[in-house]
Structure 1
Amino acid sequence: MDGRSGTASPAELIEDLFRKEYAHLVSALTRVLGPSNIPLAEDVVHDALISAMNAWRFGVPDDPKAWLIRAARNRAIDVIRRERRHRSFLPELATMTALTETIEAALAPAAESTGQLAMMFAVCDPGLNRETHVTLILRWLCGLSPKEIGQAFLVDTQTIDRRLHRGRGRLRRLGRLPDADDLPDIDARRDSVLRSLYLLFNEGYHGSNPHDPVRPFLCEDALRLTGLLLEAKATARPDVHALAALFCFDAARLPTRLDQDGVFVPLEDQDRSRWDRVRIERGLMHLAHSASGDHLSRWHLEAGIACEHAIAPSIRETDWDRIVGFYQLLAQQAWSPVVALNHGLAVAERDGIDAGRRELIALAEEPKLSRYPFYWAARADLERRAGSHTAARENYSRAIALSRSPAERGSFERRIASLEIS
């Protein structure tokens, strides 16, 4: 447990522990019960939580994690004994001795990483779309409820339930949860895993929830799951190190993303002395490990961009030439309107405001950007710096109208207010 246990209430401690242990327990029990019985595994874990809530009302045990795992173990044994005549279980659960030994081995700390890695690759089945992959990861590997997932992505709970249903149906065809190194299509799945983790991190870094646009625990979950990939020989690849580097560099800036009023702080106004230097050093280590081989993935390029921002003493002292070069390569691999927008902003820093402004104006017809508040804010920033306050005010107003959260709206309102006093 973390340092919260001394001050947190039993209810808070249970919630925190449950979210952290949910992935371990569900993936372990899925390996034991088989993918066809995922709902049963979820029920067992839920019952263990209810038992903890009832038993801990008058005092938390010395080792809450061990207590919860033991409760899940006992509940799983009871359920299997009761359901054996009506359900199909794996052959190794045929006798009580084998049943007990199998469950204890699956729940042991040594099996935790293997179980979660197997679960992660199983849910990123190529037959499911990426939205479903992320939903399944958030549910089974991060412990979020369907309601929380829906709130994160601004969809209703019924949509999330349908995605979970599709995921369960797909996994039900598996006889058992396969180890990652046993998958014949591991490369295709690994690509989907990396993209899903990228979306997961982004949802934590600057997500779609208007009331909670920065959710650091999702960033931490993305880092934790990326770490699992790096621990396994079958999945420890240079592009995984690159993705880990990207996450580290961006996570280092989390303490300065919002101010005390919950308003987004632009990069140029962030207090760089508050950036997490340990995270930046860790990112540099991952970036060095990513340099092996001859494949330059999009994660390498994005990590390179994030690195330049993380190590620069200021906006003025940033190596914008390198950043422009990285964006040019990224556009060749994975062009998107947002990549083009960021390339234009980097060009403005390297070649001057007029050069960047021309690139941004050329993107005005992109449908995605026309509805993207940060596009209009970026254009407004360049107009403000060029001294064109009327144009800046018009573009800030468009950004405010399109803002998705009070954190965004407050940031744009501050910038438009600064025009009045400049």
Structure 2
Amino acid sequence: MTDGPPGAGSSRELVEDLFRKEYAHLVSALIQVLGPANIPLAEDVVHDALVSAMHAWRFGLPRDPKAWIIRSAHNRAVDIIRRERRRRSFLPELATTTALTDTIEAALAPAAEDASQLAMMFAVCDPGLTRETHMTLILRWLCGLSPKEIGQAFLVDTQTIDRRLHRGRGRLRRLGRLPDVDGLPDIDTRRDSVLRSLYLLFNEGYQGSNPQDPVRPFLCEDALRLTELLPASKATAHPDVHALAALFCFNTARLSTRLDGHGVFVPLEDQDRSRWDRARIERGLTHLARAASGDRLSRWHLEAGIACEHAIAPSVQETDWDRIVGFYQVLARQSWSPVVALNHALAVAERDGVDEGRRELIALADEPKLSRYPFYWAARADLERRAGHHTAAREDYARAIALARSAAERTAFERRVESLKTS
């Protein structure tokens, strides 16, 4: 144990942080061993390991807390399997005591972590489940969020999340074991679901709907971590995977400048680019180069291209807006959405002038999704302000403030209203 007994609060915080980080490793590894039919049992084992740590660490922390939790989960899994053998169906490799111990040891080893999480990710993105359920299962079993935290992310109650988890457990229970991703007949369909789910996960972390915590970098990092598992397997490696990883790298490079010291959103033009993570941008460029091996431009390629132009530009004024407008035009033809049209209009305003951008934004006024989207009204207000139409700008900022989903958004819009008084 470490010298000196830290307070119970510090022990609890460490356990909770470790629990979230290691939850995915432990649950996916144990499901690999116990089989999908025993998902609740795997969850119970991990929960028991957490409770044991909370009790054991009250008067001091072990020298290697992660190893302690893994060992606790190992011992608990062995005990439960021995006790439950007669009542439950386990995989054949758990038949003897020696095989049982060796199998669990190997499954919990760091070397097996990536493979078990990759198998788990493709198992939960079953085509028979909805995308909302895919996201819920990834957040629970691969990111370690509690049902309450997932509910807060989706702005739904915990009972809704529990129902999605129940549906997911029921679907996976039909599997004898987690799938070998190299042998999945519907690998392309599942990969598409995985990428879309990770994209939604990233966006929830980058600027989500949680009013108390709209930016959660750990969700962005989890999305990138899980995406970068895919190239390890020939079946899941694909140019689209590298494109999505590139998008995540470019955007996470800017995370530290998105909020100021008061937790308020900082507009792109006001962000300190010297603080952007250059190593992460280089990592994104590497992924983008590998994404070029295919013969098609997917949605992820186009969004990564846009993010790349922002990440490498010295300033807003020196950004290659012609390339960005071109990317948005292709993206709109492939998968048009009101938000894509909104961003295209803003890029046009930078390339062709404020009036051109204003015309495109005003033409979108009847889009139902945009009428309740605070950033649409803030975008219109920004262009009205730049055009010198301060009365119209105040009206649009007022709409954005009324629709703001968090204090971080609301205060950012209020600051722009204040700036009208001095401009």
**What are the superposed Cα offsets for residues 219-256 of structure 1, whole Å, 9 maximum, x if unpaired?**
01011101111222221211111101000100011011
> 1:210: which partner in 2?
211
**What are the superposed Cα offsets for residues 15-57 of structure 1, whole Å, 9 maximum, x if unpaired?**
1211111111100110111101101000000001111111111
1:183 aligns with 2:219: no
> 2:320: which partner in 1?
319
- Secondary structure in structure 2 of the residue aligned to 1:189: helix
Looking at structure 2, the residues matched to 210 and 27 of structure 1 have their Cα atoms a distance apart, in angstroms, of: 31
Greater CA drift, 404-413 or 60-69? 60-69
Looking at structure 2, the residues matched to 177 and 362 of structure 1 have their Cα atoms a distance apart, in angstroms, of: 49
Letter in 1 for 2:30: L
Determine if contact 1:216/1:254 at 8 Å carries over to the other structure.
yes
Letter in 1 for 2:386: R
Greater CA drift, 96-105 or 6-15? 6-15
Letter in 2 for 1:271: D
> 2:111: which partner in 1?
110
Superposed displacement of residue 404, structure 1 = 0.5
> 2:69: which partner in 1?
68
- Secondary structure in structure 1 of the residue aligned to 2:405: coil
Superposed displacement of residue 67, structure 1 = 1.4
Superposed displacement of residue 179, structure 1 = 1.8
> 1:291: which partner in 2?
292
Letter in 2 for 1:313: P
Q: Counterparts in 2 of 1:326-337, with a 5 A limit?
A: 326-337=327-338
Determine if contact 1:35/1:174 at 8 Å carries over to the other structure.
yes
> 2:221: which partner in 1?
220
Looking at structure 1, the residues matched to 375 and 297 of structure 2 have their Cα atoms a distance apart, in angstroms, of: 28
* Two-structure CA RMSD over aligned residues (Å): 1.2
Looking at structure 1, the residues matched to 220 and 188 of structure 2 have their Cα atoms a distance apart, in angstroms, of: 24
> 1:162: which partner in 2?
163
- Secondary structure in structure 1 of the residue aligned to 2:228: helix
Letter in 2 for 1:256: T
Q: Structure 2, unaligned stretches of length 5 or more?
A: 1-5
> 1:387: which partner in 2?
388
Superposed displacement of residue 421, structure 1 = 2.0
Superposed displacement of residue 84, structure 1 = 1.3
Looking at structure 2, the residues matched to 362 and 257 of structure 1 have their Cα atoms a distance apart, in angstroms, of: 29
Superposed displacement of residue 398, structure 1 = 0.5
> 1:142: which partner in 2?
143
> 1:129: which partner in 2?
130
Aligned length: 417
Letter in 2 for 1:136: L
Looking at structure 1, the residues matched to 402 and 15 of structure 2 have their Cα atoms a distance apart, in angstroms, of: 41
Letter in 1 for 2:96: T
Letter in 2 for 1:322: R
Determine if contact 1:114/1:179 at 8 Å carries over to the other structure.
no
- Secondary structure in structure 2 of the residue aligned to 1:304: helix
Q: Counterparts in 2 of 1:220-259, with a 5 A limit?
A: 220-259=221-260
> 2:357: which partner in 1?
356
Looking at structure 1, the residues matched to 115 and 167 of structure 2 have their Cα atoms a distance apart, in angstroms, of: 24
- Secondary structure in structure 2 of the residue aligned to 1:9: helix
Letter in 1 for 2:298: S
> 2:3: which partner in 1?
none
**What are the superposed Cα offsets for residues 171-205 of structure 1, whole Å, 9 maximum, x if unpaired?**
01111111211211111000000000000000000
> 1:3: which partner in 2?
none
Letter in 1 for 2:327: F
Superposed displacement of residue 274, structure 1 = 1.0
Letter in 1 for 2:264: V
Return the TM-score normalized by structure 1: 0.97
Looking at structure 1, the residues matched to 221 and 201 of structure 2 have their Cα atoms a distance apart, in angstroms, of: 10
Tell me the percent identity. 84
Letter in 1 for 2:160: T
Greater CA drift, 90-99 or 364-373? 90-99
Looking at structure 1, the residues matched to 367 and 17 of structure 2 have their Cα atoms a distance apart, in angstroms, of: 43
Looking at structure 1, the residues matched to 66 and 357 of structure 2 have their Cα atoms a distance apart, in angstroms, of: 54
Looking at structure 2, the residues matched to 160 and 230 of structure 1 have their Cα atoms a distance apart, in angstroms, of: 30
Superposed displacement of residue 397, structure 1 = 0.5
Determine if contact 1:205/1:214 at 8 Å carries over to the other structure.
yes
Looking at structure 2, the residues matched to 214 and 232 of structure 1 have their Cα atoms a distance apart, in angstroms, of: 31
Letter in 1 for 2:366: E
